[in-house]
Amino acid sequence: MAGIDCLLNIALPKGRLGEKVYSRFAAAGYPCPALLENSRKLIFENPDAGVRYFWVKPADAAIYVERGTADIGVAGKDILLEQGPEIYELLDLNTGICRMAVAAPKGFRDDTRRPLRVATKFPHIAERYYASMGRDIDIIHLNGSIEIAPILGLSDVIVDIVETGTTLRENDLEVVENIFPISARLIANKASFKFKTSEIEKLVNKLSEETEEFSIKERI
């Protein structure tokens, strides 16, 4: 693990959410201007602010943190519930807000005589959700374009992330059931937290002050 140096290693999810979250880190006193310059570089340091950022695929952020390569990171609650990593979840960043939901073609009725066929990128979440209801299911693990599965008859329903519902509507699907709300979370490696306690706590405090301001602004 590369985390023994004095910089705080931070894994950010590449993409729009990551950029949004970075601006919050920067506002909280952890800037690294080079990060937003358009380049193919993935690792950025700002020794003055004591941070090293790296861009990772959003679904991998929790892995970098669990393995200690990153001391802290940002991951969606969907990823955390799907992967169940051994980490601390220190803060709800109140951004990247969406929800996990069951969607089906309009007018869908569950045929309870046979197992429900569920297409999803999140097999563990789907499994747990239906197990809690005692419903027998057949999971079809897909990696993308989940929406077409029920249209083509591959599955009866899908379990997926819904943000505005536009994609669903365009594919003649609708939300049947909401499973849980999702937002981006600040996570930390358990061992890093022990050895960089004050640095991590300071960052969490600053970010949570910032998050409150941010939430107020979002609401306005």
Partner 1 sequence: MIIDETTVTRAEQTAFALRALYRRYGYIPYRMGKFEEYDLYSRNKDFLVSDSVITFTDTSGRLLALKPDVTLSIVKNYREDTKGTEKLYYDENIYRFSRGAGTFSEIRQAGLECIGTLDPAAAGEVLILAAKSLESVSDDFVLDIAHLGILSAVLDRITSDSALQEEILAAVGEKNLHGIRTILRERGISPEKGEELTRLLSLYGEPEKVLPEIGQIAAGAGAGEEFEFFRRTLSVFSDGGFGGKIRVDFSVTGDRNYYNGLIFKGFIAGLPAAVLSGGQYDNLMRRLGKNAGAAGFAVYLDSLEQLDDTPSSTDFDVLLLYGADTDPGELAAAVEGLQKDGFTVRTGRSSSRVRAGRTGVFEKGSITWQA
**Among 42-50, 67-75, 147-155, 161-169, which window interacts with partner 1 (CB under 8 A)?**
67-75
Interface residue with partner 1 among 67, 124, 135, 141 (CB under 8 A) is 67
Site residues for partner 1, window 172-191 (CB under 8 A)?
Answer: 189-191
Cβ contacts of 174 within 8 Å, gap of 6 or more: 103, 104, 105, 106, 165, 168
* Per-residue tokens: 72: 């802290």
Q: Is 195 in the site for partner 1 (CB under 8 A)?
A: yes
Nearest in space to 8 (alpha carbons), one of 207, 185, 183, 189? 189
CB of 8 to partner 1, least distance (A): 15
Q: Is 60 in the site for partner 1 (CB under 8 A)?
A: no
Q: Is 86 in the site for partner 1 (CB under 8 A)?
A: yes
Phi, psi of 115 (to 5 degrees): -60, 145
* Per-residue tokens: 129: 């959700």
Interface residue with partner 1 among 11, 62, 87, 100 (CB under 8 A) is 87
Interface residue with partner 1 among 13, 28, 54, 66 (CB under 8 A) is 66
Q: Is 88 in the site for partner 1 (CB under 8 A)?
A: yes
Buried b (16+ CB within 10 A) or exposed e, 158-181: bbbbbeeeebbeebebbeeeebee
Q: Name which of 89 and 127 has its Cβ closer to partner 1.
A: 89
User: Can you give the length of the chain in residues?
Assistant: 220
Q: Name which of 145 and 180 has its Cβ closer to partner 1.
A: 180
Count of C-beta atoms within a 10 Å radius of residue 44? 20
Q: Name which of 57 and 67 has its Cβ closer to partner 1.
A: 67
Three-state SS string over 123-143 comes to HHHHHHHHHHHCCCEEEEECC
Q: Is 124 in the site for partner 1 (CB under 8 A)?
A: no
Q: Which residue has the tokens 């897909």?
A: 142
Q: Is 6 in the site for partner 1 (CB under 8 A)?
A: no
Query: Which residues of the chain form contacts with partner 1 (CB under 8 A)?
Result: 1, 3-4, 66-69, 86-92, 189-195, 197
